[in-house]
Chains A and B, each alone.
Chain A
Amino acid sequence: MSAISVHDLTRRFGDFVAVDRLTFEVREGEIFGFLGSNGAGKSTAIRMMCGLLKPSGGTAKVGGIDVGRDPEGVKRRIGYMSQRFSLYERLTVDQNIRFFAGIYGLRRDRLEARRRFVLEMSGLQSREHVRAADLAGGWRQRLGLGCAILHEPPIVFLDEPTGGVDPVSRREFWRLIDGLSARGVTVLVTTHYLDEAEHCHRVAIIHGGRLAALGTTAELKRAFHGRTIIEVHAGRPVEAMRLLDDMPDVERTSVFGTAVHAVVSMKPGEAARTIRERLEGGGVAVTRLGPVEPSLEDVFLDVAERG
Chain B
Amino acid sequence: MGRIAVLIWKELIELKEDRDLFGIVILAPILQLFMLGYAATTDVRDVPVVVADADRSVASRALVARFDASPNFTIVDVVTSPNEVDPYLERGRAWIALAIPPGYGEALGRATPQALQVIADGSDANSTNVAIGYATNLIAGYAQALGARLPAGSVTPGIEPRVRVWFNSRLDSRDFMIPGVLALLLLVITTNLSSMGIVREKEVGTLEQLNVTPLRRWELIVGKLLPYALVGMVDVCLVLAVAVLWFQVPLRGSVTLLFALTLVYLMSTLGLGLFVSTISSTQQQAMMTTIFFFLMPMIYLSGFIFPIENMPAVIQPLTYLLPLRYYLVILRSIFLKGVGLETLWPDALALAAWGIAILSLAVARSTKRAA
Which A residues fall within an 8 A CB radius of B? 47, 50-54, 71-72, 75-76, 78, 80, 82-91, 95, 98-100, 102-105, 131
Contact = CB atoms under 8 A, between A and B. Distances in A.
Contact of A90 (B1, B13, B210, B371): B13
Nearest to A51: B369
Contacts of B211: 52
A165 to B, nearest CB: 16
B281 to A, nearest CB: 15
Which 10 A/B pairs are nearest by Cβ-Cβ distance? A102-B6, A86-B209, A84-B205, A90-B17, A80-B212, A86-B205, A75-B214, A102-B1, A90-B14, A86-B206
Contacts of B1: 102
Contacts of B9: 99, 102
Contacts of A84: 204-205
Q: Is the interface of B mostly helix, strand, loop or mixed?
A: helix
B172 interface: no
B208 A103 contact: no
A88 B205 CA distance: 10
25 contacts: A47-B370, A50-B212, A51-B369, A52-B208, A52-B211, A53-B369, A53-B370, A54-B371, A71-B368, A76-B214, A78-B212, A82-B205, A82-B208, A86-B204, A86-B209, A91-B14, A91-B17, A95-B10, A98-B6, A99-B6, A102-B3, A102-B5, A104-B214, A105-B3, A131-B17
B204 A91 contact: no
B11 to A, nearest CB: 10
B23 to A, nearest CB: 15
A78 B209 CA distance: 12
Contacts of A71: 368-369
Contacts of A131: 17
B18 interface: yes
Contacts, number: 77
Given A72-B214, A90-B18, A99-B9, 17 more contacts: A50-B212, A52-B212, A54-B369, A82-B208, A85-B205, A86-B205, A86-B206, A86-B209, A87-B206, A88-B10, A91-B10, A91-B13, A91-B14, A95-B10, A102-B1, A102-B3, A103-B7
Max chain A C-beta neighbours (<10 A), residue from B2, B3, B211: B211
Interface of B: 1-3, 5-7, 9-10, 13-14, 17-18, 204-206, 208-215, 368-371
A83 B208 CA distance: 11
Contacts of B7: 103
Max chain A C-beta neighbours (<10 A), residue from B1, B7, B212, B371: B212
B278 to A, nearest CB: 16
A100 B371 CA distance: 26
Contacts of B370: 47, 52-54
Contacts of B208: 52, 82, 86
A109 to B, nearest CB: 15
B279 to A, nearest CB: 19
Nearest to A107: B1
Q: Is the interface of A mostly helix, strand, loop or mixed?
A: loop
Given A71-B369, A95-B13, A51 B212 contact: yes
A75 B211 CA distance: 9
A91 B14 CA distance: 7
B3 A103 contact: yes
B292 to A, nearest CB: 28
Contacts of A87: 206
Nearest to A131: B17
Nearest to A78: B212
A103 B6 contact: yes
A53 B13 CA distance: 31
A80 to B, nearest CB: 4
A53 B208 CA distance: 11
Contacts of B213: 75, 100, 103-104
Contacts of B368: 51-52, 71-72
A100 B7 CA distance: 10
Contacts of B214: 72, 75-76, 103-105
A156 B206 CA distance: 17
A82 B13 contact: no
A75 B205 contact: no
B150 to A, nearest CB: 81
A279 B71 CA distance: 103
A80 B209 contact: yes
Contacts of A105: 3, 214
